[in-house]
Structure 1
Amino acid sequence: MQKATPRVAVYARYSDDKQQATSVEDQIRRCREVAARYGLAIDPELVFSDSAITGRESGEKHREGFRRLREAWDARGFDVLLVDEFSRLSRDAVTQAKLQRQLENDRRVRMITADGVDTAREGWQLQLGLHGVMAQYESRRTQFRVPRGMQGQLERGYMIAAAPFGYDNARRFDDFGTRIGTHWVINEWEAQIVRKVFEMREAGSSMHQIAAWLNTEGIPCSRGARTEDGGYWRPSRVKILLGNPAYRGVFIWHGSTTYRSRMEKLGDPVETVEYPRPELRLVSDETWFRCNSRSISRTGYGGGKHVLAGLVTCGFCRGTLALTARSKRSLSMYCPACTVAKAVKGVPRLTSTVRATGVQQVLSEAIRYFLSPEFLQAFRHSLDLRMNGDNQGEIDACRSRLDKLRATQERLSRMLQHVTDDDPVLEARYGEARNQVVETQRKLAELEAARAKVNAADVERQKTVDPAAELVAIFDAELPPERLRAVLARLFPQVVFVRASRHSKVGRQA
């Protein structure tokens, strides 16, 4: 009886760690050479591959080719599996162990690798195990080398991630056409949108309102969106945009929430490093931090229709006071958390209420008290200092020096790339240039942060206006509640309902 011709499958994979896209073709070519030596014929329909996906556990759910290979294996769709090396199947220890057990329990499938493993030979388990350990070790080394190289790029002034909204990628090449790094450059059209978003948020707009405005204007939220119109803005995406420190001219290494979450699961501490990028600044530090504080609205998303919604804090549990329904005889504020806790657990809590009009009156009196003649005089003096303290010339000189230092650093970096032997002198010069770049970046960031953008006409108007007269009547102004809340939040960072008694009072904390 003639023996059936074995069905032969091939699997190939390359990752971005250190391989190129042609690696898959090279792996398949080597598998064809192995098949020719063994007198095997590869079935074209049984050639599986994955491109630009890691072999670690984190990448398995994205490996469509590997998934189809496992399905064909479970369905007994082939008899021989050819791979360039065992690490192409997986670098994860658990997955490797499962594959080895499957090969031991299902001997109808024979695996042959281009680097010498053949499960038809005696003792193949030891050889495969050694190859697996080496693959795991190489994976760990890669996990160390890649972050080290990325941080080195940051120290050299380059960027390591895709440019966010408001910027474009600008790749840099050496004289031989080799890419040496990527800079972010400001996209002026998108930058105007970013500044408008911060302006709206600073004026009290909720993230829902900002997202609605962006969608109404037809502004695409992502260059890589799945839809042709660029996708829709959602409040969560607006929050991510506002929280990006790049808009204040800083890139934070290990500052992403994804990285922090992963480190928390592993139980490892998170060590962040700030890299100044003053040329990327779109908003001032004051604006950025104010927009990312909790003072504008209670949750950062809504804020309520009443001017006091989300502004008053319970002095007992630090929760946020809510307002009673407008159908009540008088609009009052109370702490819902304390009310529920006392009803359910019977513990002492702050369950008194305070009239909303009373809170407004207290805040108006506080404004009168703080806006004294001495305060107004100091305020106008600070405006004079802003007019006369502009440091644009110093900033321009610092930027010019930074450009020259970066050019020197790049030149030394190219020289190091083409040196075959160790050159301590050249390495020392490169280290000095790198340190000078980092120090100059830090200095420029300080100058940018210290410099207030002064508009002479605006400053003169501020000097002539009477803030006391304007602010005392603030509750009578016909302003949207979110805008008025933003003003109150800047005047009173915290408004605390401090005690429950017949004569309840509202306290102010700076």
Structure 2
Amino acid sequence: MKRCAIYARYSTDKQDVQSIETQLMMCRREVIREGWQEVLCFTDAAESAATMHRPGMKALLAAVAAGSVDIVYADAMDRLSRSQADIATLFDSLRFRGILLATRKEGIVTPLHIGMIGTINAEQLSATSDKTRDALVRRHAMGKNPGGSAYGYEKRIEHDGNGERIRGLQQIVPNEATVVVRIFEDYAAGLSPIAITRRLNADGVPSPRSGKASRHPLGKAAAWTPNTLTGNAARGTGILNNPLYVGRRPYAKQTYRKNPETGKRHAFVNPEDKRSDDVESPALGIVPLELWDRVKSRQAMLSRGRKPRTDLTSLPFFAQQRPRYLLTGKMTCGSCGASYAKSGKTRFGCQGAAKKGPTWCDNRLTIRQDELDARVLAGLASEMLRDNVVAAFLLEYEAETLRLTAETVSARPEREAELANLDHQLGRAKAAILKGVDATVFVDEMKIWTERRKALLA
């Protein structure tokens, strides 16, 4: 009897949670009818099909790599992925291992399905993104909120004559608005973002994320940080850079794209021609224009701008971009769990205490880099080089080396096939450009293909 793994997914938390249960019920009926044996079940709730970086999908791929299944079954191909490249890679990986891919909608999946339906699903995903973006641009042009609510604002619930909720309405939160004005006044008076942050935390003022579940390893509540205030001026992020506080609503200053290697979103500043004009929203103004201008004047005065690369060599080491240290990202404060990072030219200290103040962490101890190195190396010599520890390390090293070697050998044909496909795509794109097609059409894709090609060659 063939071993079958079932996969189910729905896209967002706005969809019906019962969707997964419905998919599983319908899939299980077909599995029983075909005489297969369900051995594993994987699900992803509120996860987009634009990337394979989903917990359930990763677990499914791990089961496939371990040889635990003979068939992968889903309700439809778009449940597995809407990315044309990802569904093709998944299909090739399963076929290489002799695993059957089937869905309730398409039946046994063939290369023809991958080519045709994969293209249709990818196009639907792109069309949905375009429609959503156009709807948000229109909402912004109407003076409504196209995204989330910034600190100082909340949703305003109103309904039209048909009882339907009117989307994009906002109102001022008085308590938070008072804090916003306080931040602007303190900054205009000459206080640094760190000083303002420490005062807010000392006074127990709830931070913008204080109402959400804490992700802190020690369970500490969210606190104000300097970056919450300063953000990124070019992208309009940070409390001190939000023009909505003076009644001007911006939109499309930045866009997000997912890294195909990691599935994480990255922000990119939009060029001027792709930004929407600011829309006047005087009813949502919190900060007086005179105060806003004073803050902008101080920011301009303190701004250093980007220095040319040729000027960097004349700067002292600690004023340049610092290289990663041996223990970068591995040091944490024993009191609050915050990062221990550079606190001066040669010393390390708790960043929680330095930036959030004593109400967050009272650990003001710092340590010199040479002393830190000596302590770590002494610990390695006395603890990590004991015979039993070394023996355990060698066993684990040998086992991991064997596993990686086997994984590399087994994955080589897939990588070679993917490399050949990338070379083919790059060749077609170059040929199209030589024939007169606008090269900018392929810019984003060719960057992704080139980076992926480098990784595959490595």
The partner residue of 1:15 within 11, 15, 20 is 11
Q: 1:19 offset after TM fit, Å?
A: 4.5
| C-alpha distance in 2 between matches for 1:98 and 1:339 | 45
Aligned to 1:49, the other structure's residue is in SS state strand
Q: Which residue of 2 aligns with 1:285?
A: 289
Alpha-carbon displacement from aligned partner over 1:396-438 (angstroms, at most 9, x marks no partner): xxxxxxxxxxxxxxxxxxxxxxxxxxxxxxxxxxxxxxxxxxx
> Any conservation in 2 of the 1:35–1:41 contact (CA below 8 Å)?
yes
Aligned to 2:42, the other structure's residue is in SS state strand
How many corresponding residue pairs? 294
Q: 1:67 offset after TM fit, Å?
A: 1.1
1:273 and 2:277 correspond: yes
Q: Which residue of 2 aligns with 1:210?
A: 196
The partner residue of 1:54 within 48, 61, 73 is 48
Call closer, same or farther: CA 1:7–1:289 in 2, change over 3 Å.
Answer: farther
The partner residue of 1:94 within 76, 82, 85 is 85
Aligned to 1:134, the other structure's residue is in SS state helix
Call closer, same or farther: CA 1:116–1:37 in 2, change over 3 Å.
Answer: farther
The partner residue of 1:111 within 94, 101, 106 is 101
| C-alpha distance in 2 between matches for 1:152 and 1:182 | 11
> Any conservation in 1 of the 2:254–2:269 contact (CA below 8 Å)?
no
| C-alpha distance in 2 between matches for 1:292 and 1:258 | 27
> Any conservation in 2 of the 1:27–1:84 contact (CA below 8 Å)?
yes
* Range moving further from structure 2, 222-231 or 204-213: 222-231
Q: 1:162 offset after TM fit, Å?
A: 2.0
- The residue identity in structure 2 corresponding to 1:292 is K
Q: 1:256 offset after TM fit, Å?
A: 4.2
| C-alpha distance in 2 between matches for 1:176 and 1:28 | 37
Call closer, same or farther: CA 1:248–1:111 in 2, change over 3 Å.
Answer: same
| C-alpha distance in 2 between matches for 1:268 and 1:30 | 49
The partner residue of 2:174 within 170, 173, 188 is 188
Q: Which residue of 1 aligns with 2:36?
A: 40
Aligned to 1:274, the other structure's residue is in SS state strand
- The residue identity in structure 1 corresponding to 2:287 is V
> Any conservation in 2 of the 1:252–1:273 contact (CA below 8 Å)?
yes
Q: Which residue of 2 aligns with 1:80?
A: 71
| C-alpha distance in 2 between matches for 1:173 and 1:25 | 33
> Any conservation in 2 of the 1:153–1:160 contact (CA below 8 Å)?
yes
| C-alpha distance in 2 between matches for 1:208 and 1:102 | 51
| C-alpha distance in 2 between matches for 1:98 and 1:79 | 17
Call closer, same or farther: CA 1:338–1:18 in 2, change over 3 Å.
Answer: closer
Q: Which residue of 2 aligns with 1:24?
A: 20
Q: 1:197 offset after TM fit, Å?
A: 0.3
Aligned to 1:171, the other structure's residue is in SS state coil
Alpha-carbon displacement from aligned partner over 1:134-171 (angstroms, at most 9, x marks no partner): 11110110111111122232334432322121112223
Matches of residues 296-375 of structure 1 in structure 2 within 5 Å?
Answer: 298-299=302-303, 340=314
| C-alpha distance in 2 between matches for 1:164 and 1:78 | 47
Q: Which residue of 2 aligns with 1:243?
A: 241
Q: Which residue of 1 aligns with 2:111?
A: 125
Q: 1:93 offset after TM fit, Å?
A: 2.3
Q: 1:200 offset after TM fit, Å?
A: 0.4
* Range moving further from structure 2, 188-197 or 8-17: 8-17
Call closer, same or farther: CA 1:281–1:257 in 2, change over 3 Å.
Answer: farther
Q: Which residue of 1 aligns with 2:252?
A: 254
Call closer, same or farther: CA 1:256–1:42 in 2, change over 3 Å.
Answer: same
Q: Which residue of 1 aligns with 2:400?
A: none
Call closer, same or farther: CA 1:247–1:264 in 2, change over 3 Å.
Answer: closer
> Any conservation in 2 of the 1:96–1:132 contact (CA below 8 Å)?
yes
Q: Which residue of 2 aligns with 1:165?
A: 151
| C-alpha distance in 1 between matches for 2:20 and 2:225 | 39
Call closer, same or farther: CA 1:51–1:275 in 2, change over 3 Å.
Answer: farther
| C-alpha distance in 2 between matches for 1:292 and 1:271 | 21
Q: Which residue of 1 aligns with 2:225?
A: 234
Alpha-carbon displacement from aligned partner over 1:467-504 (angstroms, at most 9, x marks no partner): xxxxxxxxxxxxxxxxxxxxxxxxxxxxxxxxxxxxxx
> Any conservation in 2 of the 1:204–1:296 contact (CA below 8 Å)?
no
| C-alpha distance in 1 between matches for 2:254 and 2:212 | 20
- The residue identity in structure 2 corresponding to 1:129 is G
- The residue identity in structure 2 corresponding to 1:132 is G
Aligned to 2:108, the other structure's residue is in SS state coil
Aligned to 2:144, the other structure's residue is in SS state coil
Aligned to 1:292, the other structure's residue is in SS state helix
Q: Which residue of 2 aligns with 1:224?
A: 212
Q: 1:40 offset after TM fit, Å?
A: 2.9
Instruction: Give the CA RMSD over aligned residues.
Output: 3.3
- The residue identity in structure 2 corresponding to 1:279 is A
- The residue identity in structure 2 corresponding to 1:278 is P
Compute the TM-score of the two structures, normalised by the length of structure 2: 0.57
Call closer, same or farther: CA 1:83–1:340 in 2, change over 3 Å.
Answer: closer
| C-alpha distance in 1 between matches for 2:291 and 2:135 | 33
Q: 1:213 offset after TM fit, Å?
A: 0.9
Q: Which residue of 2 aligns with 1:150?
A: 136
> Any conservation in 2 of the 1:248–1:285 contact (CA below 8 Å)?
yes
> Any conservation in 2 of the 1:8–1:41 contact (CA below 8 Å)?
yes
Call closer, same or farther: CA 1:268–1:99 in 2, change over 3 Å.
Answer: farther
Call closer, same or farther: CA 1:148–1:135 in 2, change over 3 Å.
Answer: same
The percent of aligned pairs where both chains have the same amino acid is: 27
- The residue identity in structure 1 corresponding to 2:89 is K
In structure 1, runs of 5+ residues without a counterpart are: 300-309, 320-336, 342-510
Aligned to 1:152, the other structure's residue is in SS state helix
> Any conservation in 1 of the 2:137–2:276 contact (CA below 8 Å)?
no
Call closer, same or farther: CA 1:71–1:135 in 2, change over 3 Å.
Answer: same
Aligned to 2:126, the other structure's residue is in SS state helix
